[in-house]
Structures are given as structure tokens and as C-alpha cells.
């Protein structure tokens, strides 16, 4: 039986991307930072983001002097996107020796503060060298060592020589975790002693395409962050087709591929017959994830309060979101990698439940979100929320009451923005007609 479609876009309503409105009582003041100078936190943030970045570098730069750096890589590799198809790639190196895996393992960052995560990442120095993306297939010595680093399973002792002392700004992105200073790399020694056996086997398989390799690695329990790293350095795929993939693209690509693979299984499962609600507050983000009765459909909506990292306006709330029906989507989601990160986490939960359902992920971002930390923030916190026992609600009315109670943004705004909730409110299910006639 063909799954029912649902209303999208909602007739008479503006697209979600354009839903902005003014918060009463807030007015723009361009002198705010000058008057505050971090003393009074007039912006409403719990920590001054300017000082946070400064203090992070204050701890790191004294440990990185001259053009030589010895220490441990978590292991970590970063591939840039500027200049594509000739990109910058290099190791992420810590001046500390010993176990540094935590610095590049986002699965372990849930429960950490923004200050801790920034501290992890500013301790990493990025070496840079430029290669064409097609060189991943037949790498020269330096690129081959970086690919091996991408397969490592534990910290790697390293020694690097740079063309100039590492300097620069804290690299921030909504897609990938931040890192600290960088410099062109002259040469590097990487003492890789142990690689992930599953990554090593799939890297040696020259006949499996990248999609098959990613899916098999996930099924074998390899962490998503490790798969993303191997994918990025061009260590997966058929011979002649391997490519370097910018880190921000590889993160979303793996989230997308794995979630599609899981959703193939989800669509064959029985339908959920109740409303389940999961909640979490972390890093001044409030999350509500609702599973609704019926066939699979998915939606993710983010609301950015004033003075948050991607909404510098002092008085306007910005809401963005996107959705897909039973068959999925063929175009890139307007809210970017966060959409696919949350979709992966919710698909995993549906597989565990052995049910398909409508999924709504609602995220309200408050001013405590002072710096972009990467889409791991979405994937891992949605995973954390879904790992908790759900609340079993009596129906949509109770769900709406919870949304109104938990969020600062009025319920009306969420309902206007959500195609999946609109569908749940307005479309009668077939079993309702069967019950009526019995």
C-alpha cells in the first residue's frame, strides 16, 4: 500500500526559512560590546565569546613556539574546501604527549561545557599541504601518511616542521568542530602503531564503492566520527574513484548515507501507535523530539533566539526548518548538515524501537550558544535525548501543551512552521475510518 502524502508547503503560510519576528523590548545597540568589555555580560550570554577565544589561544600559543612541534595527534585530519578541486589537508596535532583521543572524539563530548570543548579544540594545531582531490587514489608519501593517520585508532606520536610558526584565528564552523592555529607543513613524522581493523580492511578493498564501505563500517560498529575521517582522506571507495573530501562535506555525506541505509529498514517496520516525547537541555539548546503514530516522515526545525551565534540580531527570532515524506528527499536540506545529523540519530532510535513513525525534531537555541561547535552538537545531543526513556503522551493535544510549556517561543510559531505537525492535526488516518464503521 502506498504511503499517504502530507501537506507541504502549508497553504497560505510563509516558508519556514522566512519566519522571523521581533521580540518586544529588545533594541539594537552597536555600542554594547564597547560599554560592556566583558564586565557585565550585557549581551545576555553566560560567557564573553571574545574572551573565551582569547583565553583558549592564551593557553595554546605558548606551547607552540617556532616552526617545530612535537606531541600527539588524537588522531585527527582536516580537509579544507577552499580552492576545490585543489584543497588543503593536514594533520591536527596536539603539543601534549600521550592519550589525546578525547580532543577529536565528539561522541565523548556530551555533558561537556562550551569552554571544555573549545579548550579541546584550540589545543590542536593544523598543518596544511595542498593536493588535488584526485591524488587520493595514488597518493605521494605525505598524503599516504595522512591517509594512514585517518585510519588510526589511538593517539599518534608526531613531529612536524612548519614553514612558519603556526598562527591564525580559531576556525569555527557549524559543520565541523573548531581547531586552533595553523601553518603550512614542510614535513611530518607520524608514528601510527595501531589502525582500526575494519577501516583497514575496507581501505584495502579496492572493489567496494564508498557508499558500501560506509554502510558496512557502520554496521560493524565503527564510530561515525572515524568513518567520516576515513571518508574525508580518500581512504574508501573503488580504485580509480577515490577522492579527498572536505571535512564539512564528509561529515554530512556519512550522516546522509548511514541514515538512508537505516531508513530502508525503518520503512518496513510496523507503525508506531502512540505519541512518544524525548527532551533534553544542553549547551543552552532545548530539544524536544516527538515520534508520532503513522508512517515515516521527518522534520527538523531550529529556532534561534536573539544574540545567538547564527542570529546576531538583538531583537529578532529566526526559525528555519525542512522536512521529508515517506520516500525521503532528493534535494539538499535548507538548514544544512544539522538536518542529516538529527535524521541519523532519529533513524537509529526507530530501528531500536522496531517501529516507523513520524518524527519531529524541535530545537530552540538560546544565547548560551556562544560559538558554533559543529553538527556533532546536534547528532550527539539528539542521540543522548533518544537514549532516555520516552514520555508516553495521550495524544497531540498533550504534545502541544508540552511544547508550549518547554519552549520560550510561542506554540503558534512552531505549529505554523511544522508541516509534519500540520499533517498530524489535519489528516485522518485509515484506522479512524475503520473504527468509526465498526
Residues 237 and 337 both lie in one domain: no
Residues near 285 by beta carbon (within 8 Å), at least 6 away in sequence? 363, 364, 365, 366, 369, 377, 381
β partners of residue 195: 152
Residues 80 and 223 both lie in one domain: yes
pLDDT score recorded for residue 151? 98
Residues 422 and 276 both lie in one domain: yes
Lowest-confidence range among 7-16, 26-35, 92-101, 425-434? 7-16
pLDDT score recorded for residue 56? 55
Lowest-confidence range among 29-38, 99-108, 156-165, 343-352? 29-38
Which of the four pLDDT bands, split at 50, 70 and 90, describes residue 120? confident
Report CA-CA distances (Å) from 207 to 58, 137, 211, 235, 239.
Answer: 48, 13, 12, 12, 7
Q: Which of 256, 281, 299 is the last residue of a domain?
A: 256
Tens of pLDDT, residues 150-192: 999 999 999 999 999 887 665 555 555 666 788 999 999 999 9
Q: Is 3 a residue whose pLDDT tops 60?
A: no
Q: Is residue 11 part of a domain?
A: no
pLDDT score recorded for residue 19? 54
pLDDT score recorded for residue 6? 35
Q: Is 36 a residue whose pLDDT tops 70?
A: no
- Rounded Cα gap, residues 150 and 55, in angstroms: 30
Q: Is residue 261 part of a domain?
A: no
Residues 273 and 159 both lie in one domain: no
pLDDT score recorded for residue 427? 76
Residues 228 and 275 both lie in one domain: no
Residues 173 and 306 both lie in one domain: no
Q: What percent of the chain has pLDDT over 90?
A: 65
Tens of pLDDT, residues 200-211: 999 999 999 999
Q: Which of 256, 283, 314 is the last residue of a domain?
A: 256
Residues 364 and 404 both lie in one domain: yes
Residues 334 and 241 both lie in one domain: no
pLDDT score recorded for residue 62? 56
Average pLDDT estimate for 15-35: 46
pLDDT score recorded for residue 43? 61
Q: How many distinct structural domains can be found in the chain?
A: 2
Residues 290 and 421 both lie in one domain: yes
Q: Is residue 117 part of a domain?
A: yes
Q: Is residue 149 part of a domain?
A: yes
Q: Is residue 96 part of a domain?
A: yes
Q: Which of 256, 289, 307 is the last residue of a domain?
A: 256
Average pLDDT estimate for 19-28: 46
Q: Is residue 151 part of a domain?
A: yes
The mean of the pLDDT values for the chain is: 85
Please count the CA atoms within 13 angstroms of the CA of 255 that sit on its side-chain side. Answer: 28
Residues 394 and 362 both lie in one domain: yes
What torsion do the CA atoms of 400, 404, 408, 409 make, to the nearest 10 degrees?
50
Q: Is residue 6 part of a domain?
A: no
The separation between the first and the last C-alpha atoms of the chain, rounded to the nearest angstrom, is 22
Lowest-confidence range among 8-22, 96-110, 120-134, 355-369? 8-22
Residue 379's closest CA among 431, 343, 418, 335? 343
pLDDT score recorded for residue 167? 77
Residues 283 and 360 both lie in one domain: yes
pLDDT score recorded for residue 402? 97
Structure pTM? 0.85
Q: Is residue 415 part of a domain?
A: yes
Residues 418 and 334 both lie in one domain: yes
Residue 80's closest CA among 187, 171, 192? 171
Between these two residues, 429 and 242, which has the higher pLDDT value?
A: 242
Q: What percent of the chain has pLDDT over 70?
A: 78
Q: Is the distance from CB of 178 to CB of 373 less than 8 angstroms?
A: yes
Domain enclosing residue 243, as ranges:
49-256
Amino acid at each position: 500500500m502506498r504511503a499517504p502524502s502530507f501537506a507541504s508547503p502549508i497553504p497560505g503560510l510563509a516558508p519556514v526559512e522566512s519566519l522571523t519576528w521581533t521580540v518586544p523590548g529588545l533594541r539594537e545597540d552597536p555600542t554594547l560590546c564597547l560599554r560592556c568589555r566583558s564586565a557585565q555580560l550585557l549581551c545576555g550570554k553566560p560567557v564573553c565569546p571574545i574572551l573565551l577565544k582569547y583565553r583558549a589561544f592564551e593557553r595554546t600559543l605558548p606551547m607552540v613556539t617556532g616552526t617545530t612541534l612535537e606531541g600527539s595527534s588524537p588522531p585527527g585530519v582536516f580537509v579544507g574546501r577552499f580552492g576545490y578541486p585543489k584543497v588543503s589537508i593536514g594533520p591536527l596535532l596536539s603539543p601534549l604527549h600521550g592519550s589525546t583521543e578525547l580532543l577529536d572524539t565528539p561522541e565523548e563530548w556530551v555533558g561537556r561545557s562550551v569552554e571544555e570543548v573549545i579548550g579541546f579544540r584550540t589545543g590542536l594545531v593544523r598543518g596544511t599541504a595542498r593536493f588535488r582531490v584526485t591524488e587520493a587514489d595514488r597518493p605521494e608519501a605525505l598524503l599516504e601518511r595522512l591517509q594512514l593517520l585517518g585510519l588510526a585508532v589511538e593517539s599518534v606520536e608526531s613531529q612536524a616542521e612548519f614553514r612558519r610558526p603556526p598562527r591564525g584565528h580559531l576556525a569555527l564552523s557549524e559543520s565541523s568542530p573548531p581547531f586552533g592555529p595553523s601553518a603550512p607543513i614542510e614535513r611530518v613524522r607520524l608514528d601510527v602503531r595501531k589502525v582500526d581493523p575494519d577501516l583497514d580492511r575496507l581501505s584495502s578493498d579496492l572493489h567496494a564503492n564508498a557508499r558500501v564501505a560506509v554502510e558496512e563500517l557502520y554496521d560493524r560498529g565503527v564510530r561515525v566520527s572515524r568513518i567520516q575521517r576515513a571518508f574525508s582522506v580518500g581512504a574508501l571507495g573503488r580504485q580509480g574513484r577515490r577522492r579527498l573530501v572536505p571535512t564539512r562535506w564528509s561529515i554530512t555525506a556519512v550522516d546522509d548515507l548511514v541514515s538512508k541505509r537505516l531508513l530502508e529498514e525503518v520503512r518496513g517496520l510496523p507503525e508506531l501507535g502512540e505519541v512518544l516525547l524525548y527532551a533534553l537541555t544542553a549547551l543552552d539548546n532545548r530539544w524536544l523530539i516527538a515520534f508520532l503514530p503513522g508512517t515515516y516522515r521527518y522534520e527538523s526545525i531550529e529556532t534561534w533566539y536573539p544574540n545567538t551565534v547564527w542570529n546576531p540580531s538583538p531583537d529578532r527570532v529566526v526559525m528555519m526548518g525542512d522536512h521529508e515524506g515517506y520516500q525521503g528527499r532528493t534535494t539538499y536540506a535548507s538548514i544544512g548538515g544539522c538536518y542529516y545529523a538529527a535524521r541519523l540519530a532519529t533513524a537509529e532510535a526507530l530501528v531500536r524501537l522496531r517501529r516507523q513513525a513520524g518524527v519531529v525534531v524541535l530545537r530552540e537555541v538560546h544565547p548560551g550558544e556562544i560559538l558554533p561547535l559543529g553538527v556533532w552538537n546536534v547528532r550527539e545531543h539528539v542521540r543522548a535525548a533518544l537514549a532516555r526513556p520516552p514520555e508516553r503522551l495521550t495524544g497531540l493535544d498533550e504534545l502541544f501543551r508540552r511544547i508550549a510549556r518547554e519552549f520560550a517561543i510561542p506554540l503558534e510559531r512552531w505549529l505554523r512552521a511544522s508541516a509534519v505537525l500540520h499533517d498530524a492535526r489535519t489528516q485522518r488516518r485509515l484506522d479512524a475510518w475503520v473504527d468509526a464503521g465498526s
